[in-house]
Amino acid sequence: MNAPDNQKRMRSEQGNYRNEPKLLAHECSAHYADIKATVVQTHRITSNVSIITLECQAIAATAKPGNFVNIKVKDSTLPLLRRPFSIHNVRGTLIDIMVKSIGPGTTLFSDTTEGTAVMVLGPLGNSFDRTSEEFQTAVLVSGGIGTAPMLFLEKTLAEEGKKTINLIGGRTKDDLLSQNLSNCRFATDDGSSGFKGTVVALLRTELPALNNEGPLKIFACGPNPMLKALAQFCNEYQLPCDLSLESVMGCGIGICYGCSVEVKNPSGGVRTMLLCREGPVIDAKLLIE
C-alpha cells in the first residue's frame, strides 16, 4: 500500500528542513504494508518475554534496523488499538518480535499460538543511522525490553564490516535479554550480574578501553530516563549517538498525534515531532535534557 496523502504532506513539510540533516527522519519508511500475517513460532525466553515469529514477506523484504511494526491480534476487540513493536530480527520471509508482557495488548500477543492470524502494519518509522558518521565500532546500549531491536541492528552492522559491542542493562539479572547477541557486557542495578550500576555508568567505565577500538558510535534503546542519561553522557564526550525513543502510540502512521514529543530544534528552540513518523530514532543531540 502506498503512503497516504497525509504522510506525503508531512514528508513535504519535512523538506523545509533539508539543510538540517539531523532533524530529518533517517530513511523514514515511505511505503508500508498492512498484512494479515500468521504466527509460525512462539518461544518464551523468560517468565514474561517471548519471541513471536511471523510469516511476513513484504515487511521482511524492506525492513531496516530500528523500524517498528504496529500489530493487532486479529479478531480481538480488546485492546482496540494496535501496539507498536520493534523488528527484533529478519530471517528470509520471517520477522521475529520480542515482546514483554506488561498489559492487555502485549499479553494477548505474547499468548498467541502457532497459526494465529495477526494484522501487521509496517515497516514503520525511521531506522538507526549507520552511514552519516564515520565509525569503526558500534556500541549497542540497551536496557530491559529496549534490547529488542539490537539483534537486527547487530547483524546488519556486522554485514557492513563494523565491530559491535553490546552493553545491556537491567534491574536484576532476570531482566537481561541477550539472546543471540555477541560481545555482551552486563550491568544490573542490584549487582546480580555484571557491573553493579546503570548501563550508562558501565559505558563510562568501559570508555577508555572502547576508545582503543577505533572511532565509536553509540546506538541505544531503552527506558526514556536511561536514554536521557546516555544523551547527556554522549554529548559530554562528543560521541555520536542515535536513540530509539518510546512513547504511547495509536495509529503509527502520523494520523492520531498520540506520539508527539518535544525535541530541540537545531536552529534553536524546541519543536514537536511525531515519533511514529520522524522517529523513533533521533540524534541524541536533539533530546531535551
Ligand X SMILES: Cc1cc2nc3c(=O)[nH]c(=O)nc-3n(C[C@H](O)[C@H](O)[C@H](O)COP(=O)(O)OP(=O)(O)OC[C@H]3O[C@@H](n4cnc5c(N)ncnc54)[C@H](O)[C@@H]3O)c2cc1C
Q: Tell me which residues touch ligand FES (CB under 6 A).
A: 249-252, 254-259, 274, 276
Q: How far is residue 69's CA from residue 31's CA, in Å, rounded to a whole number?
A: 12
Our finding on whether 42 is near ligand X (CB under 6 A) is no
* Amino acid letter for position 164: T
**DSSP letter assigned to residue 2:** B
Site for ligand X in 155-214 (CB under 6 A): none
Using the rule CB under 6 A, give the single segment among 38-46, 92-100, 233-241, 263-271 that binds ligand X.
92-100
Our finding on whether 83 is near ligand X (CB under 6 A) is yes
Shortest distance, position 274 Cβ to ligand FES, whole Å: 5
Q: Name the 3-class secondary structure at 120.
A: strand
Q: Are strands 184-188 and 163-170 parallel, antiparallel or unpaired?
A: parallel
Shortest distance, position 178 Cβ to ligand X, whole Å: 15
Our finding on whether 100 is near ligand X (CB under 6 A) is yes
Q: How many CB atoms lie within 10 A of CB 36?
A: 10
According to CB under 6 A, which one of 105, 122, 169, 194 is a site residue for ligand X? 105
- DSSP string of 19-88? T-TTTSPTT--SB-EEEEEEEEEEEE-SSSEEEEEEE-HHHHHH--TT-EEEEEETT--SS-S-EEEE--
Our finding on whether 219 is near ligand X (CB under 6 A) is no
Cβ neighbours of residue 258 under 8 Å, at least 6 residues apart?
Answer: 247, 248, 249, 250, 251
**Distance from chain centroid for Cα 20:** 23
- β partners of residue 164: 138
Shortest distance, position 208 Cβ to ligand FES, whole Å: 40
Using the rule CB under 6 A, give the single segment among 24-32, 80-88, 169-177, 199-207 that binds ligand X.
80-88
Q: How many CB atoms lie within 10 A of CB 100?
A: 19
Instruction: Using the structure block, give the residue that is written with the C-alpha cell 546516555.
Output: 230
Long-range Cβ contacts of 267-273 (<8 Å, 24+ apart): 267/20
Our finding on whether 79 is near ligand X (CB under 6 A) is yes
Out of ligand FES, ligand X, none, which partner does residue 148 contact, by CB within 5 to 8 A per kind? ligand X
Q: Name the 3-class secondary structure at 242.
A: strand
According to CB under 6 A, which one of 54, 72, 84, 187 is a site residue for ligand X? 84
| Residue with Cβ nearer ligand FES (201 or 256) | 256
Out of ligand FES, ligand X, none, which partner does residue 181 contact, by CB within 5 to 8 A per kind? none
| Residue with Cβ nearer ligand X (37 or 216) | 37
Using the rule CB under 6 A, give the single segment among 81-89, 189-197, 209-217, 262-270 that binds ligand X.
81-89
Our finding on whether 70 is near ligand X (CB under 6 A) is no
According to CB under 6 A, which one of 30, 61, 158, 248 is a site residue for ligand X? 248
Our finding on whether 85 is near ligand X (CB under 6 A) is yes
| Residue with Cβ nearer ligand X (1 or 45) | 45
Binding residues vs ligand X (CB under 6 A) = 68, 79, 83-86, 98-100, 102-106, 145, 148, 246-249, 280
